[in-house]
Structure 1
Amino acid sequence: MEKFIFFSYLSAAIAYTILFLFAITRIKRHWLFITAVAFSILWSANVVRATQDSQFFIADTLVFETLRNMFWTLWLATLISKQRYNNNFQYVLRSRLAPAIGLLFLLTGIIEGFPSFLDFIRLQTDSDPRFFAHVVFAVIGLILIEQLYRNTPLNQRWNIKYICLSLAALFLFNLIVYSKSLLYKHLDIPLWQSRGILNALMVPLLAISLPRLDLPSFNTAHSVPRKTIFYSTILFGCGAYLILMSATGYYLKQANAEWGETIQTVFIFLAVLLLFVSFTSGKMRALAKVYFGKHFFHYNYDYREEWLKISKALAKLESMGELKDFIITTLTNLVESTGGGLWLKNEQSRFFLAAEQNLRLSPQELDHFKNNHDLPTYLSKKQWVIDFFELAHAPEVYDDIDLSPCCSEDSQIWLIVPLFHLNNLEAFAVLTQPRAPRKLNWEDHDLLKTVGMQLANALALNKASEALANNRQFETYHRLSAYLVHDLKNIAAQLGLIVKNANKHKHNPDFFDDTIDTLNNAVNKMQHIVNQLKQGKSIPSAKSLINLADIIKTIQHQHKGLPALSIVTTVDVCLITVDPIKLTSVITNLIQNAQDATQKPDGWVKLVLTTKPDYAVLEIIDNGIGMDSSFIAERLFKPFDTTKGNAGMGIGAYEARDFVLKNAGHLDVDSIPDQGTTFKLQLPLSQPKTYDSIEPAIDC
């Protein structure tokens, strides 16, 4: 065994020596770290010496281990101080426990360095104080590591990750070794001899982390989170609890030699079970929260942390049902209430119970909240949290409201929390009695009101989202209706033109031929509109290969408006792939707009069809009233914006641009006031597989 101890601690001495040489060449200003490494070398070297020198004992090395632990602890404290205060020793100077910890290290060093003191204490207490001291050192080291890690922002934790990992392993192993040694009153040699190898293994992790300590991002002061103090205190309490239970178990073992080990085992098992039960108890957590808030902090809450936590949770919610449950859970957890209910305002400004969790209200209390219209008015006027504990001890505060139905002896109601959005009461929550008795102060009330406003904003946003979704559905139907009405208006205009010219041309055979064509076109469009109404949405485009030259000739033949429409074309075949019905409707609408804008004796409208590489170019030109540049930029393509009053729908130009863009084309407008306008449509040219695949011109 001595041979194993020799090689184990020899490897630790060599590893620490290499780390020492590395440290003095790379980070000279971290002198506490270098000192801790130096005492680690001295400690491991003395253990090696104890295995080779019969005049030197392992117990004599404990004083060097105490010095080593002291400098590791002091170095960790300086790292925390650098993070929190940007000063190496501010954390130590401000700590109330620092003098007691320093005194403990001093006394332990004296006891271990002077055997006469140790013999005196052993004689008086029948125990070895060194084991107890080293258990405390291990707990202190773990607390400092936990504080250092939690106090470091997430984006900087990689700087100290390996430091925390290696030193936590060191102190945790020490805790195991010395707590077991304390329990059985002698040093656990099998565990103790393995520490040399463990120390050697942690040295590379320390070497990796050393250069990261000098990075600028790490040398920035940060405020300590409240939870750091809470968890550190809990860790210290657990260590003290385990030490106390171990000592009690040991004395129970000594009191009854025959059943001592059995009694000791049962007692320690029950002690550990009690510890876990305490940590899983909601009431114990509530009592701890109240105690720490009252004695450890100037302010009970970290408002920034609470706000960010709620905001992150709200961002994950996907439905109104989840939001209602979240509101109750948030408020109950905030004050450690056992349950609650949420009353929401409906469209008639009446409040109803929308969600509940372990509410446990009597039917009379539920009826009171359902039928009491004075409560919402009172909450809107006062804008404060109604505290039934305060109501019982100072009823004059609530003289303006009758809450007697909720004040019975067995009533579970504790708080009524209003939720305001822009000073409007959106909801209120009723919370039942807390897990641990507590009296709310001004800070509790402020936090409840602040969180209530945030939750009310979430409610208002959810309602607005639902209203927006409904409006989008209505917008879809309105947009469809607008297109249909626009088509119906054009059909009505064509039929009206037939009726207007019937008496004058009823004996002309050509007029009858044109009338039949126009009626046929109107029937096709009406059938298309009926199909759209049946489906409740626009029918998807049915694209086909068409000859644009044939389309515009058919449109000219069937369009009998004034002024007359003329065509100028340089090509006979201009093949494009589009929906012919939609294209015909778009061109007809633009022609109709041009004719409406050209109501003068010398007015004219013409279609000019040309081609350029990859595009068919169709220009609709008139010499009408024209448009200025601001109108084209701001209003021309704005849907439902028209200059024709009740005669127009304001979607012709918008529909044309939308159609052209969906077919990978371009629509340009050039216009000069009182001189005329040119709409230029550019649509991609297509090449047919066979000429027979070209669709014939569609009757418009």
Structure 2
Amino acid sequence: MILWGHALAALLFGLLALSQIRHAAAALPRLTFVLALGATALWALAVAGIGSVDLTANLLEALRDLGWLGFMFALVRRDGRAPERAAIQIIYGVVATIVLASGMLAIATAALPPADAPVLMAARVVLQMMVAVSALVLINHLYAAVAPGARGGIRLVVVALAAMWSVDLVLFATAYASAGWPVGLVAMRGLALALLAPVFALAVHRNGDWTLQLSRTVAYQSLSLAAIALYVIAMGMATSLLATIGGPSARIVQTAFVFGTTAALFAILSTPWLRAWTRVKLAKHLFAHRYDYRQEWLRFTDTLGKPGEDAAPLETRIVKAVADLTDSTAGLLLVRDGVGLGQGASWHWDGDSFATDGELPRYLEATGRIIALDAVRNDAASLEEARAVPSWMVDRADAWVLLPLLHFGKLTGAILLARPPIDRAPDWEDFDLLHLAGRQVASYLAEARAQQALAEAQRFDEFNRRFAFIMHDIKNLVSQLSLVARNAERHADNPDFRADMIATLQDSAARMNDLLARLSQHHQTRSEAIENIDLAALVARVAGRRSAQHPIVTGGARDAVAAADPARLEQILDHLLQNAIEASPPADPVALVVGADGDSVHVDVVDHGAGMSPAFVRDRLFKPFVSSKVGGFGLGAFEARQLAEAMGGSVEVASREGEGTRFRVSLPAVVVPVLGAAA
């Protein structure tokens, strides 16, 4: 079986090599392919004629392995750039070194006395197992690096090589475990190789130009697997050394050594700092570019478009997607807040931030520059850039870069990124990638805000449709009352008519009160003239109407007088008081506090309920049709601010989540003369 199987394999591989000699000079992959076929034929012939353990067969086996490794290396490096070829050379060089070491051990085994041969043969079998494992790892890399448009010839070669080295691995592992050479597996090895020869022949006819494309991810994986292989080799050598010097406790010492070193290695490799450092060093020294742009963009778009109810809000996903590009540990979104920028969503960002003035957004919008904050700290930035950056960003040591978000030349916000685990200065690759990502997320933000505006317009349309039905009911009521008024001129003296008229008026009033109750948030009372209002008395009156509904306390100044429309002011306080009552626990009172401050007076509506976030207060509180209550129209705070501003006042809010909210209604003050002041 050994003779005929290997002889058949030698014949088939030899014929295939001879058929391809005329094409050998066409390209390096073709040349190495022919050499590998010839080396395989010679090795199979030696095994058939001399034996599998003979020195010549062992050296030809090493030559066969080197030939196929050279062929795979020629395929991978064909389209690789110089730094990537350096990485491949390192990987293949390590495996080739193991092959050469196996050949040297074969020579040493033949040269030493027979008594010393078993130890060297066992060591050589271990190295051959390492060669098989490493070759399978490289085959995995080779298969993953095949260009999508490559023909099937390369794939057939990869499958055939994987099968060849898998059979070798089984043979060597069995030989090491049984401390002998399994003759049956040697015979099966020859038959398997003979069956693989037609696969190589078919690959030759189906092959195109042997073109491959190196994947950065696969390169990282291959380096990792090569490192694992080296670690296994080192462990094998170390345990063999311990076995010779350990004596009776050798097994215990070996177990403790392997367990301890493996646990320590896993502890070291699990640190984020080491992983980030490794990625930076590999990208810097082995590749032409730091980023795999295709992979980064796929991850970026996947984070932005993550579906599902459990997904984070869009603004948080935007911050995370941008931070992941540069391995930043945290990020903060700054959005338009008046003329400056205020805090928006954040991702892993700790601590408070402060609003900026208008100088920073003007600079970002005019230049579109990404600000490296270390340059500002080191006085390496321009004077204009240094003036634009607020002091709290410079004082925060982990703040790294500030990315402007521009959409059609308009600044929609900015993202402040924290430092990556391995601190470094941002370079042109960082700036290029962040510029592209900034434009993309700016368009996402602009689209989201356009959708929000469209939703508000749709709510207005819904309100208009609903109000059309109400207007129809009011028109019917007006027609009914007009008919009563016309008939009263002729039938006023008729007792029956007067009774019917009273019933009609009562029914109309009830229906109108029902309409007003349903539209209490939308109904605006008739404007009255501005009057001098005693705020303490008005607050007491409003509190008295609501005291049966919820505990309300009043206090503050007793002599504050405001210039306002009393009906509108009561409507404002009713809106705010209702919101405070609904936000408060049943037993916690709501406070109405009157105060005076120079030329203005104010009424504070204070509750100790759930409170509101800064983002909700800035972006949603005073927007129409935005409500945190189920079924609410969200017009209370909006209408309160509108009514106050119409009287020359304002409505301000201060709120903390979990602590409560204070609304302050400020109005122009009326100075009341004090009797006897002239004297």
* TM-score for the superposition, normalised by structure 2: 0.55
Paired residue for 2:329?
338
Separation in structure 2 between the aligned mates of residue 313 and residue 202 of structure 1, nearest angstrom: 48
Find the partner of 2:249 among 245, 253, 259: 259
**For 2:405 and 2:112, how far apart are their aligned partners in 1?**
65
| Deviation (angstroms), 1:314 | 4.5
Q: Deviations over 1:198-229 (max 9, x none)?
A: 6744765674465355557x427565333343
Aligned to 2:162: 168
Question: Which segments of 5 or more consecutive residues in structure 1 lack a partner in the other structure?
Answer: 1-5, 486-700
Superposed CA deviations along residues 267-290 of structure 1, whole A, max 9, x for unmatched, are: 223444455555554322211111
- Partners of 2:199 and 2:185 lie apart in 1 by 23
Tell me, yes or no, if the aligned pair for 2:144 and 2:218 is still in contact at 8 Å. Answer: yes
Counterparts of residues 199-598 of structure 1 (less than 5 Å):
200-201=191-192, 207-208=198-199, 210-212=201-203, 214-215=205-206, 218-219=208-209, 221=211, 224-277=214-267, 280-311=270-301, 314=304, 317=307, 321-345=312-336, 351-361=341-351, 363=352, 366=353, 368=354, 370=355, 372-394=357-379, 397=382, 399-401=386-388, 403-407=390-394, 411-467=397-453
Q: Given that residues 84 and 151 in structure 1 are in contact (C-alpha distance below 8 angstroms), is that contact kept between their aligned partners in structure 2?
A: no
What is the Cα deviation at residue 45 of structure 1? 5.2
What amino acid sits opposite 1:74 in the alignment?
G
Q: Indicate how the Cα distance of structure 1 residues 158 and 110 shifts in structure 2: closer, same or farther if over 3 A, else same.
A: same
Cross-structure match for 2:135: 141
CA contact (8 A) 2:340 2:360 kept: no
Instruction: State the superposition RMSD in angstroms.
Output: 5.1
2:557 is aligned to none
Check whether the contact 2:156–2:203 (CA below 8 A) recurs between aligned residues. no
Structure 2: distance between partners of 1:252 and 1:303: 47
In the TM superposition, what are the counterparts of 1:635-650 in structure 2 within 5 Å?
A: none
Structure 1 counterpart of 2:71, one-letter code: W
Number of residues paired by the alignment? 464
- The one-letter amino acid of 2:70's match is L
Q: Which amino acid aligns with 1:256?
A: G
What amino acid is aligned across from residue 256 of structure 2 in structure 1?
V
Bigger Cα displacement from structure 2, 303-312 vs 252-261 = 303-312
Cα distance in 1 between the residues matched to 2:422 and 2:183:
44
Q: Which amino acid counterpart does residue 434 of structure 1 have in structure 2?
A: P
Q: Which shifted more, 67-76 or 451-460?
A: 451-460
Deviation string, structure 1 residues 511-548 (Cα, Å, up to 9, x no partner): xxxxxxxxxxxxxxxxxxxxxxxxxxxxxxxxxxxxxx
Matching residue of 2:537: none
The alpha-carbon deviation at position 70 of structure 1 amounts to: 1.5
Aligned equivalents of 1:93 and 1:440: distance in 2?
Answer: 24
In structure 2, how many angstroms separate the alpha carbons of the residues matched to 1:168 and 1:274? Answer: 33
What is the distance in 1 between the residues matched to 2:173 and 2:264? 19
Q: CA deviation at 1:192?
A: 9.0
Matched AA of 1:153: A
User: What is the one-letter code of the residue matched to 2:408?
Assistant: L
Compared CA separation, residues 211 and 137, structure 1 to 2 (3 A): same
Aligned mates of 1:210, 1:458 — CA distance in 2: 54
The alpha-carbon deviation at position 264 of structure 1 amounts to 1.5
- Once the two structures are TM-superposed, the CA of residue 452 in structure 1 deviates from its matched residue by 1.9
How far has the Cα of 1:63 moved from its partner? 1.2
Q: Provide closer, same or farther for how the CA distance between residues 84 and 27 of structure 1 changes in structure 2, counting only shifts above 3 A.
A: farther
Q: Which residue of structure 2 lines up, in the alignment, with residue 43 of structure 1?
A: 43
Q: Which amino acid is the alignment partner of residue 369 of structure 2?
A: W
Distance 1:355 1:297, change over 3 A: same
Deviations 1:327-346 (A, max 9, x none): 23323322222222333447
| Structure 1 residue identity aligned to 2:421 | R
User: C-alpha displacement at 1:81, in angstroms?
Assistant: 4.6
Structure 1 contact 177–192 (Cα < 8 Å) conserved: no
Distance in 2, Cα, partners of 1:344 & 1:192? 75
Does structure 1 residue 75 correspond to structure 2 residue 84?
Answer: no
Deviation at 1:444, TM superposition (A): 1.9
Matched residues in 2 for 1:206 and 1:354: separation?
65
* Alpha-carbon offset, residue 291 of structure 1: 0.6
Question: Which amino acid in the other structure matches residue 392 of structure 2?
Answer: P
SS of alignment partner, residue 350 of structure 2 = coil
Q: Is the 8 A contact 1:82 1:219 kept in 2?
A: no
Mapped partners of 2:463, 2:14: distance in 1: 78
Describe the shift of the 1:314–1:156 C-alpha distance in structure 2 as closer, same or farther (beyond 3 A).
Answer: farther
Contact 1:385 / 1:416 at 8 angstroms: preserved in 2?
yes
- Are residues 256 and 154 of structure 1, via their aligned partners in 2, closer, same or farther at CA, if it must alter by over 3 Å? same
* Aligned residue in 1 for 2:529: none
Contact 1:83 1:152 in 2 (8 A): no
Work out the CA distance in 1 between the residues paired with 2:312 and 2:103: 63
Q: Cα gap change, 1:221/1:129 in structure 2, threshold over 3 Å: closer, same or farther? A: same
SS of the equivalent of 2:387 reads: coil
Name the SS of the counterpart of 2:247 in structure 1.
coil
Q: Secondary structure at the match of 1:437?
A: coil
Matched, 1:154 2:148: yes
